[in-house]
Structure 1
Amino acid sequence: MSNRNHKIIQRMKQLEQLRLTACYVLLVLILITQFKVWSQTQERPFILVKASERQKILDKIEKQDWANEIYTNLQKETDKQVEVFYDNPEAFVKQLPFDWSKRQQNQFPPFLKTTHIANGVQENLDNATDEEWQSAELLIENLQVALNCGIMYYLTEDEKYAYVASSILYSFIKSVQQSEVSQWTGRGGWLFPYDGFREVQVIGYKLPLIYDFIHTYLKNEGTSFDIIENRKVSFPFNEAQKVFKTYANITVNYGQTGSNHCVLEAPNLVYNALAMDNESEREKWLSYFLSESTENQDALPIMYKNYKKEGDIWPETSQYLNHSTSLLAELMLVVNRYDSSLKLGEKYPNVLHALPRLDYFVYPNNEIVRWGDGHRRAHAPYEAYDNAYVLAQMDGLTELQNKFAPLISRAISKGKYKRKSMEALFWYDNDFKDAPATIELPRTDKVYHAGIIIQRNLSSTNSPKDGLMCFVGGAHMVHGHAEGMNIELYGEGQVLGVDHGRKKYGQDLHENYSRIFAAHNTVIVNGSSQGEGGWVNLGINKVKSIAMEPEVGREAISPYHSFTLTSFEDDKGNKAEATQERTLALIRTSPTSGYYVDVFRSKSRLPNEYHDYLYHNIGDELTFENKDLDLKNTPNRYMSNANEPWKRNKLYRHPGWHFFEDIKTSKTYDNDVKGTFHTKKLKQGAVFMQLHIPGFENRTYTKVKAPTTFESPEPYDSLPTPTLVIRKEGEAWKNPFVVVFEPYNEMEVPSIQSVTKIEQDRLYKGLKVISKTPSETLIQYIITQSKNQVFKSDTFDIYFEGTFAIITLDENETLKSIYIGDGKALNYKNETIQTESDNTYYKEFNNE
């Protein structure tokens, strides 16, 4: 064969290969296009559930008791409303909150607007009265009836349900279009003109779901009842699409970025996008959730930046972080079910990993560590665990399936979780009958965005009453408080040393006490500590960790001891200008006893400084054993800022202590002080918190009745909170505030026999604490210094270079143990210790 012919043959082979490749590529493109078109034009319903899944769900109802219960309850409730509707359709629809006075000829009347007026000014609906909220509540209830009817139509295919649902939806669509969307400060709504944020959460998201469920009925020429024409009419598809776009637009162009608002509005966006019948319109609006952020709405990739590492949580307070993450997980599942090729679980797994984190921020009595606007009592988002499992299963994420299956099983078996929602009926199949999981709570943990460091020491008795736990923290965030470097203390089954919490937003108490320094266990500098800048002008610096043991994720070196040393800059405004450090230690002395050591250093860069240490404890009263403390009434002591200007969410009456009542103050008192908070009205019986306060110069002691601590155990949820305030004239750094706290109950006596300060050159260095536990007497030398300080005492024969150490002796002063939480070297009598690179050490000495 000639070379020329050979080249021709080779060229022909190449062309054939190119043709085959082109055909293959074309085939793939056709298949992708067909899949995309199929995913977009699939038969409704498909937002929460697919038409093709109906029989599977009916089988579930027949075989699974929990599914049957959900269905039976829905049927019973819905049938009551359907019966009322069919008895008089006109009267049923006319109960909707129409504003008949504004009806135009031959038109539907508009709905009554829901507004809230405070001091003559229109505000959002946070504090709306029952009367103001009445029309909205009526509308919400009827839309829920329509949604329930839509679901029943899907399950039963009985058109009586679809007719009721379509009549309510029809009336809403006709009436809502008689109004204009408000432009109020970029947050306006359609029916809530000054709170579009709330409108899309309670109204806007329901409409597309109703439409999706009854679409088969509507497209088959199903009718709706028209109260103006008093007859059955065709459904206005084009008008419905306009309403869906309007509600989607309220989220995309009238919302707020950088907070949980984007998450809370996202269901409205996603569901209204999926209700659009035009495929390109649906994809366009859905993109605002999946990829395209706007000035008013963050898309999923932006919101996901809050979950950079596995275990990161939504950076707000407890109820918001849980709710936000749960909503994101649910929406990821909804959109993934619509288009499984998106694989949102695989792309954004840390959203799912974040869901169980709140289970780890709990006290031994299962109440939650509280910061900012967070609640004390909440439950884990168990339904979100179920959603996470389904999404992980869809995307083949084995690790996440293995993580959530036992958590769901544990919750169900312990009676903490019962599937009740319609989503459960649609989405959940597995029963998770495996052995329940256990949650191992670590000795220390952190809520990173809140500056919180947790210490816990659970008892070998396994009783919540014997558990010990505390935290120190503070930071700025959305829904955070200007709280300074705050602590909470737990004992005898209750959070005793408490953060005030919150009730209704916008009220004087919330704005000018709950949110600011005086409501927290912190130090106020020069009477002027405050928040400034940031979210609603409450910005503060974050509490920073200097040293701690054990570090988060590490094994504790001692079963009895732990500590943290933290710092805080109180520099907002221009009258505090302070640097602060706080050592908080948890020391267990027996399975049923232990105590906390709190050392708070504070110094201002301004002249004539003074510092006030605040501690709030639920209870009936605070008493002192010092008979010569001689407290006198001082009603005006904290009133200087009581009448300062206040502008909601912008300007406050810092630091908030003008809410204190029954104020009694001592003269300057230099001696040691011993006091007790009595809490005698608990159902469990009386408990106490005893305080040992070493004496220093230039101190005055004040006891007050602070406002009620919200979410306290009865009856303390309606009683004032006894509070101690210690004032130090001048700096409080070299000789800081030092308090030893011991909780005990009425069946016990306090174990601490004495607390004596340890000094070097008249400067505070630590404490000598003698305790008598049920089994032994302990003598403990506790050295608490700033980083890299040295303590040397010939009296005690101690040399310590470091931050925190405890030397424990028995009653014969025989060495029992040495603990170094952070330090380089310690000498005690004949014991010489040099620590390793982690600066920690623990040893128990057997002296038998």
Structure 2
Amino acid sequence: MKKIEIKIIPIRLILPIFFLLVQSKMFGQVQERPFILVKASERDQVLEKIKTQAWAKDIYNNLLNNTDIEVAFFYNNPENYLKQLPFNWKEGEKDEFPPFYKTDHVENGIHKNLDNATDEEWKPAALLIKYLQVALDCSMLYHITEDEKYAYAASSILYAFIKSVQKSQLSDWHGRGGWLFPYDGFREVRVIGYKLPLIYDFIHPYIKKGGKSFDIIKSKNLDFPFNEAQKVFRTYADITINYGQTGSNHSVLEAPSLVYNALAMDDKKEREKLLSYFLTENTDNQDALNVMAKNYKNKGDIWPETSQYLNHSTAILVKLMLVVNRYNPDLKLASTYPNILFALPRLDYFVYPNNEIVRWGDGHRKGSVLYDALDDALSLSEMDGLDEVTDKFAPLLAAAIQNGKYKRHEMESIFWHHEITATTPASILLPRTDRVYHAGIVMQRNLSSTIKPEDGLMCFVGGAHMVHGHAEGMNIELYGEGQVLGVDNGRGRYGKDIHENYSRIFAAHNTVIVNGASQGEGGWANLGINTVKLISLEPQVGAEGVSPYYSFSQTSFEDTGGEKAEAKQERTLALIRTSPTTGYYVDVFRSKSKLPNQFHDYLYHNIADDLVFNTTDLKFNDTPNKYMSNANSTWKSGTYRNPGWHFFNDVKTSNTYEGNIKATFKTNKLKNGAIYMQLHIPGFKNREYTKVNAPATFEAPKPYDELVTPTLVIRNSGEAWKNPFVVVFEPFNANEKPSITSVEKIEEHGVYKGLKVETVVASKTLIQYIITQSKDEEFKSEALDIEFKGTFAVITLDENDILQNIYIGEGESLKYKNTLIETDENKAFYKSFIE
């Protein structure tokens, strides 16, 4: 591993006049500290905001009141106050500062990172973080008030930290070691390393003029140790530059420590050199901004990880771009990387009607809009004159402030943000379809004219490999009656058995497992899978859609992980609305393997109390060992007990059954009342059905976050391509009956071609012929008098067989009785035949 050497480049005392002029031109005028978060010259502006703007006054008064409590404790007895820091007195030398207690986490005798650290293990770090935050708060108050009592308290805490931290050896554990967190330097720079330079920057005027710091070893006030502080800042910058990993959000999360510690260097050339590792100089362990920005190639591109990381990563980058741009406005970082700013609102488009987030990989179900990041982006765009960003973000912020969704609460807001006036509030308009390209996700939504979340419909199909991604195959989620019902398991704490051997591998997802062997392979954490590819979509992303009632997607996936699946798959997912309050989903999953003796398992998880089969002649037997073959296989870093279905309990399996199936997931314990998901499954040969209790779904609505998740598994012996898995899903609530009365498959020469679905809505019967084929296939039925060349179509009749409407999602031509429709270049088509 190549290590970047970081050292001071001294400025000689005697330099030619021309070199001084060149250097002045290169690095600008000498800046008086503070200048990292706010410039010394901006103090009057800050005071004016606090005086005239209520939000700024509230932030300042809150900081002042809370900090004054700690300052009083400090002044009551500085020595006792500082000695509460987590010093390891047993290891200290006489008359010298002792080292701090290390923060470490051990599982089964093995040192690990701090993801699962106990409260007791975390206690030294928590104490350090508290004291450093007090020092940072005091330092900001010193800048605003110029009251040296705050500077004295802040400098004394920073003094103690600098003296003590140097007594520890820097760890090199797995290239991720730290100073105080020997097995998690990645976390150390995120929670500790970035605070120190900010404290230093704010109190610099005090210590520069000789202001003292209290030394608990000598029990007296001493000069601040400038050179030692510079060494500490350099070391924390070095941890970022020479430790950690590239190609992930690690580079983003470590960047604040790098930028702030770089800016804390008093030598200009060293400051600029260290800062270059954020801007342009990439190392084996740290991506610079010019590389990270490549993730935002197009306007609207997002950080290529899961939901809780993508917006957070972008927010950090925008904040640091603002800090560095303020330090050197000639960089014009907003103009250089505008797509980073445009990425900020994108997560707000990936939400269900109840505002929960579409979930992929380790992503969370809930999240809040990062309005403070939009605020930062607005300030940055105004610096660089990016009117398009300003025009987009200012109305969003105005609406959020007006509606009480956003209240500025950080001191950075006082330093950077201004009153937003003279703009019309705006909201985000959600499109009918959307995509998360790096996650292979294709979304469909149909919001009801009632505007009620419980009447909205939404679904997605997706799957791909990324950092924090899951080996999930071609996965779906389904929404209905105000809840995400067809669920992805989500994730709990990292490193646990259930996380590694269930949540992030195939069995935790609504997918198809091939030959009992589908798995990830290669890439991040050995969870690599191929990306789900889009074949067809209507409406296209951003388009209005030809019909208010119908949409569909067709996607493909190659299951090539390991050597025992080797399958080609295709999935058609359609959303059919039949009234403002009713609708259903059609899922057609084709799967075939290159290998002999193949079998395929279709999995569907639904939050519920029970899965009830309404098909009375379908009998189930206990089969406790059905999914246990890999339950005790090897589990170590990067090797999992694939496909993870050994976590299924109460396993009950039917005999082979060829008939149609109707089943219902009953969800009775929600606070807003009972809701259901009914399944209609056309029968095929070589099928058996299994119902199981899967582990609880993380972040499901209470109490289902702690209850088992009823799950359906359909096994097909042999290929499942000509006769795929076909399921019609209808959500409904306890106050209404399901609208679907029957579902029949449509075949041509023994090959599945589509469905006939009958519904009753508001006492009116609808008959819908839904043709679902692979691309460029043809279907002809003399009995139904239908001919169709294309991928997806819906023909809707009333109870008297009178044609109501025709929808072609993608197709060349459709003939129904005497009606012939030919499309232009397979474009979508819709026509209503009633007035």
Question: Which category of TM-score, normalised to the shorter sequence, fits these structures?
Answer: over 0.9
TM-score by length of 1: 0.96
Give, in angstroms, the shift of residue 135 of structure 1.
0.5
Give, in angstroms, the shift of residue 630 of structure 1.
1.1
> For residues 394-543 of structure 1, what are the structure 2 equivalents within 5 Å?
394-432=383-421, 434-543=423-532
Q: Tell me if 1:581 matches 2:565.
A: no
Give, in angstroms, the shift of residue 430 of structure 1.
2.1
Q: 2 CA distance for matches of 1:568 and 1:350? A: 29
Q: 2 CA distance for matches of 1:474 and 1:28? A: 60
Q: 1 CA distance for matches of 2:340 and 2:565? A: 39
Is the 1:409–1:433 contact (alpha carbons within 8 Å) kept by the matching residues of 2? no
Match of 1:232 among 195, 208, 221: 221
Match of 2:473, as an amino acid?
A: G
Q: Tell me if 1:758 matches 2:746.
A: yes
Give, in angstroms, the shift of residue 55 of structure 1.
1.4
Is the 1:372–1:479 contact (alpha carbons within 8 Å) kept by the matching residues of 2? yes
Q: 1 CA distance for matches of 2:215 and 2:669? A: 60
Q: 2 CA distance for matches of 1:31 and 1:112? A: 48
The runs of 5 or more residues in structure 1 that have no matched partner are: 1-26
Give, in angstroms, the shift of residue 456 of structure 1.
0.3
Match of 2:197, as an amino acid?
A: P
Residue matched to 2:703: 715
Q: 1 CA distance for matches of 2:103 and 2:97? A: 18
Q: 1 CA distance for matches of 2:21 and 2:213? A: 39
Q: 2 CA distance for matches of 1:623 and 1:635? A: 19
Identical amino acids, percent of aligned pairs: 68
Is the 1:638–1:657 contact (alpha carbons within 8 Å) kept by the matching residues of 2? yes
Q: Tell me if 1:155 matches 2:151.
A: no
Match of 1:559 among 548, 552, 555: 548
Match of 1:193, as an amino acid?
A: P
Q: 1:801 to 1:28 in 2, by over 3 A?
A: farther
RMSD: 1.4
- Which of structure 1's runs of 4+ aligned residues deviate more than 3 A? 27-39
Q: 1 CA distance for matches of 2:208 and 2:449? A: 66
In structure 2, the residue corresponding to 1:628 is in which secondary structure?
coil
Q: 1 CA distance for matches of 2:427 and 2:246? A: 38
Is the 1:408–1:432 contact (alpha carbons within 8 Å) kept by the matching residues of 2? no
Give, in angstroms, the shift of residue 95 of structure 1.
0.5
Is the 1:597–1:738 contact (alpha carbons within 8 Å) kept by the matching residues of 2? yes
What do the CA deviations read for 1:642-681 (whole angstroms, capped 9, x no partner)?
A: 0010013x10000000001111111111110000001111
Give, in angstroms, the shift of residue 32 of structure 1.
7.3
Q: Tell me if 1:267 matches 2:244.
A: no
In structure 1, the residue corresponding to 2:389 is in which secondary structure?
helix
Q: Tell me if 1:139 matches 2:131.
A: no
Q: Tell me if 1:792 matches 2:792.
A: no
Give, in angstroms, the shift of residue 825 of structure 1.
1.1
Q: 2 CA distance for matches of 1:84 and 1:775? A: 74
Give, in angstroms, the shift of residue 440 of structure 1.
1.2
Q: 1:32 to 1:562 in 2, by over 3 A?
A: farther
Residue matched to 1:3: none
Residue matched to 1:15: none
Residue matched to 1:779: 767
Give, in angstroms, the shift of residue 475 of structure 1.
0.1
Range with bigger deviation, 774-783 or 490-499: 774-783
Q: 1:164 to 1:348 in 2, by over 3 A?
A: same
In structure 1, the residue corresponding to 2:617 is in which secondary structure?
helix
Q: 1 CA distance for matches of 2:399 and 2:347? A: 16
In structure 1, the residue corresponding to 2:491 is in which secondary structure?
coil
Residue matched to 2:649: 661
Q: Tell me if 1:836 matches 2:824.
A: yes
What do the CA deviations read for 1:234-256 (whole angstroms, capped 9, x no partner)?
A: 10000000000000000001121
Is the 1:558–1:842 contact (alpha carbons within 8 Å) kept by the matching residues of 2? yes
In structure 2, the residue corresponding to 1:767 is in which secondary structure?
strand
> For residues 625-636 of structure 1, what are the structure 2 equivalents within 5 Å?
625-636=614-625
Give, in angstroms, the shift of residue 809 of structure 1.
0.5
Range with bigger deviation, 415-424 or 587-596: 415-424
Q: 1 CA distance for matches of 2:216 and 2:19? A: 50
Q: 1 CA distance for matches of 2:368 and 2:476? A: 23
Q: 1 CA distance for matches of 2:765 and 2:22? A: 77
Residue matched to 2:8: none
The runs of 5 or more residues in structure 2 that have no matched partner are: 1-16
Residue matched to 1:221: 210
Give, in angstroms, the shift of residue 555 of structure 1.
2.1
Q: 1 CA distance for matches of 2:630 and 2:20? A: 73
Q: Tell me if 1:695 matches 2:683.
A: yes
Range with bigger deviation, 62-71 or 265-274: 62-71
In structure 1, the residue corresponding to 2:344 is in which secondary structure?
helix
In structure 2, the residue corresponding to 1:556 is in which secondary structure?
coil
Give, in angstroms, the shift of residue 63 of structure 1.
1.3
Residue matched to 1:6: none
What do the CA deviations read for 1:503-543 (whole angstroms, capped 9, x no partner)?
A: 10000000000000000000000100000000010000000
Match of 2:626, as an amino acid?
A: R
In structure 2, the residue corresponding to 1:808 is in which secondary structure?
strand
Q: 2 CA distance for matches of 1:822 and 1:456? A: 18
What do the CA deviations read for 1:95-131 (whole angstroms, capped 9, x no partner)?
A: 1001111101221100111111111111111111111
Give, in angstroms, the shift of residue 810 of structure 1.
0.8
Give, in angstroms, the shift of residue 28 of structure 1.
13
Residue matched to 1:54: 43
Residue matched to 1:802: 790
Residue matched to 2:11: none
Is the 2:661–2:682 contact (alpha carbons within 8 Å) kept by the matching residues of 1? yes
In structure 1, the residue corresponding to 2:161 is in which secondary structure?
helix
In structure 2, the residue corresponding to 1:770 is in which secondary structure?
strand
Match of 1:115 among 91, 104, 112: 104
> For residues 804-819 of structure 1, what are the structure 2 equivalents within 5 Å?
804-819=792-807
Q: 2 CA distance for matches of 1:749 and 1:436? A: 41
Match of 1:739 among 727, 735, 739: 727
Residue matched to 2:34: 45
Is the 2:394–2:420 contact (alpha carbons within 8 Å) kept by the matching residues of 1? no
TM-score by length of 2: 0.97
Q: 1 CA distance for matches of 2:490 and 2:422? A: 38
What do the CA deviations read for 1:61-114 (whole angstroms, capped 9, x no partner)?
A: 111111111111101110000000111111111110011111012211001111
Give, in angstroms, the shift of residue 34 of structure 1.
4.0
Q: Tell me if 1:309 matches 2:325.
A: no
Match of 2:633 among 604, 622, 644: 644
In structure 2, the residue corresponding to 1:480 is in which secondary structure?
coil
Q: 1 CA distance for matches of 2:125 and 2:349? A: 38
